[in-house]
Amino acid sequence: MSKHIISPFLFIVTLLVNFPLLAQIPQVPAELEFADMIVRINPQARREIQLDVDAQYRNPNYFKIKQERVNLYMPIIEEILRESNVPLDLKYLVIQESSLIPDAVSTSNAVGFWQFKQGTAEEVFLRVDKQIDERKNIVSSTRGAALYLKKHNNTFDNWMCALVSYQMGLGGAKAYFGNRYNGKRVVDVDRNTHWYFKKYLAHKIAFESQIGVLTSNSRMVEVPVKGPTTLAALAKKYGVEEDHLKEYNKWTSNGKIPGDRTYGLVYVQDGSLPVQQAIVRETKPQKSQSGSSSIKNSPAYKQANSFPRIAGNTTKANQPDQITVNNIEGVQAAQTTTLSNFSDKVGIRENKLRRLNDLDRGERIEAGKYYYTKKKKTKADVETHVVLPGETLWSISQKYGIKLSSLKSKNRIRKDRDLKVGMVLNLQEHRKRGEEIPIVNLNQPAPTKTVLASSSSSNPPRQEVRNTTSSRTNSNLTHTVSKGETLFAISKKYGVTVNDLKSWNNIGSQNIISIGQKLVILKP
């Protein structure tokens, strides 16, 4: 008798415990965006995909473990896909392939994060032998996967076909698809659509809302290392346990790192701890009393200050369809808010608005800044830009209306930490391979022979340029504000003053910062 009473009770308790997770299971939409395409899903296919989505959430404990792995590795994966000019949507494929288990092995003997067989791994330049297996290295294997997918997309000009070719191979995908999807930007999914793509859609839908939803305060740190060295030596250098490095770096079978190439070493760090000195070089910037005024009097500052160029009904700049920003339709943010709220206000899907402005998922919209509602250009209206204190690659791309990927590609520069104040970045032409990026000294008065372009000229101001030989070059770091952080705490973390932080980031006298805000840290 008691059995009949207890069993339903335990069932109800189980449902209540798991209800928060069950209640938020994403539902398969009739239409979604994938890469540069629109995917329309008919009702039968939606039911089929929904079963796979539900299966991901069936075991709450397993889902949380998987979610934690996803959020640890995903920032590294996203950065590599950006560098490779591969759509970020392809990041969900690694979840489908291995659940981000580094030493996962399939029944067909495919290994690692992206499940490469040895022959395919070697095609994308991964080292696979008894000492090193880069299929188990998140950095190397993601670069290999990006190269593989990009190469196949060059054949199809359709990321769905390229994705399916990851499972079938290029020859198999050619035979299966022919050329009927080549160049198509709208795809209909039904019962006849390849199962691998439908399975991918299930993973994208299941985890899209979970990216950035951390279940702990940990973060994955990636450090480029070149041997010969050992995990034991690196453990001492970075202040972590050797066993911890072994757990997250299974690509080196004996703990030794050879000197044949640079490898990506990763480890997990508590988010409340400062970044290790080996990753972020923390030295106090040298201050100059006349530096600020010299910079503001420089031609570089005057050019940069004339962008972005706003036209249209500027009295309603915070409303859609009222202004252009660098001759591209745009809008000004009236207040600091979430990307979701802002996208609703301007009437554009959140994912699309994020792509148009090269924003990271979860990044906040900042009051007063301009955002684009149409595609940015691959070239700016001026030839060059001289990097000023506090600027990032993203802020420069927004200033001139140039795609972030184009800006990086033209200058062969990938990360904000590689920027130096005074760098002369190309905004129109690609820099030649091996060519050093020149630097101007912004703290010196502009030479008398410098000629400023008139406001009606499209030519940028000219300035004397020197090569990067000075020992006083500056570089930028980017710090993302997390919950509970203050300007004082951040200043202590990086060895700078609160006034420095406020000056570099245009923060007012009230010292207000918001969660997710990106702060520039200027380091010499």
pLDDT at 193: 96
Where residue 372 falls among pLDDT bands split at 50, 70, 90?
Answer: very high
Other beta carbons within 10 angstroms of residue 61's beta carbon come to 9
Chain centre to alpha carbon of residue 213:
16
The percent of residues above 90 in pLDDT, for the chain, comes to: 44
- Residue range 315-320: average pLDDT? 84
Q: Where are the domains of the chain?
A: 24-208, 218-270, 310-372
pLDDT at 434: 75
Neighbour-count burial for 201-214, b at 16+ CB within 10 Å, e otherwise? bbbbbbbeebbeee
Cα 121-124-130 angle, rounded to 5 deg: 40
Q: Are strands 475-480 and 370-372 parallel, antiparallel or unpaired?
A: unpaired
Residue 427 phi/psi, 5° resolution? -115, -5
CATH number of the domain located at residue range(s) 218-270 in this protein: 3.10.350.10
pLDDT at 299: 56
pLDDT at 476: 66
pLDDT at 464: 37
At residue 159, does pLDDT exceed 90?
yes
pLDDT at 110: 94
pLDDT at 483: 66
At residue 336, does pLDDT exceed 60?
yes
Q: Read out DSSP for 356-392?
A: HTTPPTTPPBPTT-EEESSPPBSS-SSSEEE--TT--
- Residue range 299-310: average pLDDT? 66
pLDDT at 466: 35
The 10s digit of each residue's pLDDT in 253-269 is 999 999 999 999 999 88
pLDDT at 521: 80
- Residue range 84-106: average pLDDT? 94
Please give the Cα distance from 213 to 26 (Å, whole number): 14
Please give the Cα distance from 394 to 371 (Å, whole number): 12
Where residue 381 falls among pLDDT bands split at 50, 70, 90?
Answer: confident
CA neighbor of 265 nearest in space, from 249, 276, 242: 249
pLDDT at 19: 41
Q: Which amino acid is at 515?
A: I
- Residue range 66-92: average pLDDT? 92
At 498 the three-state DSSP class reads: helix
Cα–Cα distances in Å, from 423 out to 140, 345, 433, 442, 504?
29, 37, 17, 10, 17
Please give the Cα distance from 400 to 133 (Å, whole number): 43
Please give the Cα distance from 268 to 75 (Å, whole number): 13
pLDDT at 414: 84
Where residue 419 falls among pLDDT bands split at 50, 70, 90?
Answer: confident
Cα 369-374-380 angle, rounded to 5 deg: 75
- Residue range 243-262: average pLDDT? 94
Structural tokens at position 111: 């290994």
- Residue range 8-21: average pLDDT? 45
Lowest mean pLDDT segment, chosen from 290-294, 324-328, 438-442? 290-294
At residue 319, does pLDDT exceed 70?
yes
Where residue 391 falls among pLDDT bands split at 50, 70, 90?
Answer: confident
The 10s digit of each residue's pLDDT in 192-223 is 999 999 999 999 999 988 887 655 667 888 99
At residue 346, does pLDDT exceed 80?
yes
pLDDT at 511: 59
At residue 513, does pLDDT exceed 50?
yes
Contact between 209 and 238 under an 8 Å Cβ cutoff? The reply is no
Please, which residues bridge with residue 187 across strands? 39
Residue length, the chain?
A: 524
CATH number of the domain located at residue range(s) 24-208 in this protein: 1.10.530
- Residue range 141-167: average pLDDT? 95
**Residue 221 CB-half CA count within 13 A:** 22
At residue 30, does pLDDT exceed 80?
yes
When the pLDDT of each residue in the chain is averaged and rounded to a whole number, the result is 80
Structural tokens at position 240: 């972590």
- Listed in sequence order, the residues at least 6 apart from 30 whose beta carbon sits closer than 8 Å to its beta carbon are 40, 41, 46
